[in-house]
Amino acid sequence: MYIGVKFREQGQIYYFQADQEDLAPGDHVLVTTEEGQGIGRVALAEAELPVDLPPEEVKTIDRKAGEEDLARMRENNELARDSFRYCREQIKQMGLEMKLVDVEVRFDQSKFVFYFTAPNRVDFRELVKDLVNQYRARIELRQIGVRHEAQILGGIGNCGRICCCHQFLREFVPVTIKMAKEQQLFLNPSKISGVCGRLLCCLNFEKKAYADFYNRCPKIGRKYQTNLGEVKVLRANFFRDTLVLDAGEGEEREINLLEWGEMLSSGTEGENGVDNDQPAPESPAASSREEASGSSEGEETGAKGGEDQGGQQQKAKPSGGSGQRKKGRRSRGKRRGGSRSGGKGKGGGQGQAASGGKNSGQGKQQKKSGR
Question: Taking residues 212-235, what's their average pLDDT?
Answer: 87
Q: Is the pLDDT of residue 111 over 50?
A: yes
Residue 22 burial by CB count (10 A; 0-12/13-18/19+): exposed, middle or buried?
Answer: exposed
DSSP for 28-84? EEEEEETTEEEEEEEEEEESS--TTS-GGGPEEP-EE--HHHHHHHHHHHHHHHHHH
Answer with the residue of higher pLDDT: 185 or 55: 185
Least confident of 12-21, 101-110, 154-163, 318-327: 318-327
CB 176 within 8 A of CB 207: no
Determine how β-strand 36-46 pairs with β-strand 2-6: antiparallel
What proportion of the chain, given as a percentage, has pLDDT over 70? 71
Q: What is each CA distance from 296 to 35, 302, 307, 311, 316, in whole angstroms?
A: 79, 10, 17, 23, 13
228 phi, psi to nearest 5 deg: -90, 0
CATH class in words for 72-144? alpha beta
- How far, in Å, are 14, 68, 70 from residue 65 at the CA level? 17, 8, 7
| pLDDT beyond 70 at 59 | yes
Sequence-distant (6+) residues with CB within 8 A of 252 are 234, 244, 245, 246
- Contacts of residue 91, defined as CB under 8 A and 6 or more positions apart, other chains included, come to 98, 100, 127
Residue 240 has pLDDT above 70, yes or no: yes
Between CA 40 and CA 70 the distance in angstroms is 10
Q: For the domain 217-275, what is the CATH code?
A: 2.30.30
In terms of pLDDT, which residue wins out, 86 or 311?
A: 86
Element (H, E) at 286: helix 284-307
pLDDT one-digit tens code per residue, 329-358? 444 444 444 444 444 444 443 433 333 444
Confidence of residue 78 (pLDDT cuts 50, 70, 90): very high
Q: What is the pLDDT of residue 267?
A: 57
Instruction: Please tell me whether the overall predicted TM-score, pTM, comes out greater than 0.75 for this model.
Output: no
DSSP letter for 141, please: E
- Per residue in 264-321, pLDDT (tens digit) is 776 544 444 434 333 334 444 444 444 444 444 444 444 344 444 444 444 434 444 4
Q: 136: number of CA atoms within 13 Å, CB side?
A: 1
Structural domain boundaries in the chain: 2-65, 72-144, 151-210, 217-275
Which pLDDT belongs to residue 8?
81
Distance from C-alpha of 42 to C-alpha of 14, rounded to nearest angstrom: 10
Distance set, CA 322 to CA 11, 127, 302, 307, 333 (Å): 74, 79, 11, 20, 17
Share of the chain above pLDDT 90, in %: 24
What was the pLDDT predicted at 368?
41
Query: What is the pLDDT at residue 266?
Result: 62
Average pLDDT, the chain: 75
CA 30, CA 39: separation in Å to the nearest integer?
5
State residue 55's pLDDT score: 77
pLDDT for the residue 200 = 92
329 CB-side CA count, 13 A: 9
Residues 6+ apart with CB under 8 A from 307: none
Mean pLDDT check: name the lowest of 3-7, 259-263, 360-364.
360-364
- Mean pLDDT of all residues in 208-219: 90
Mean pLDDT over 81-100 rounds to 94
When pLDDT is averaged across residues 216-237 and rounded to a whole number, the result is 87
> What is the structure's pLDDT at 252?
85
Length of the chain: 371
Report which secondary-structure segment, H or E, holds 345: none
Question: Which pLDDT score, from 0 to 100, does residue 85 have?
Answer: 95
> What is the number of alpha carbons within 13 Å of residue 149 lying toward its C-beta?
18
Under the banding of pLDDT at 50, 70 and 90, the label for residue 3 is confident
